[in-house]
Amino acid sequence: MTAPTRPSRTLHITTAVLPLAGWTVHAVVMHRRLAAAGRDPLTGALRRDGFTARAQRLVDRHDDTAVLIADLDHFKQLNDRLGHTPGDSALAAVAARLMEWAGPRGVVGRLGGDEFAVATRISPRHRDLRIEQLGHLLALPVPIEGEPVHVGVSVGAATAHVTGTADLSALLRTADTAMYAGKHTGIPVQARPGDPAAPSVNGRRAGRPGTSTHAIRSAA
Question: Which residues are marked as active site?
Answer: 114
Report the alpha-carbon distance of residue 107 to residue 120 in Å, rounded: 6
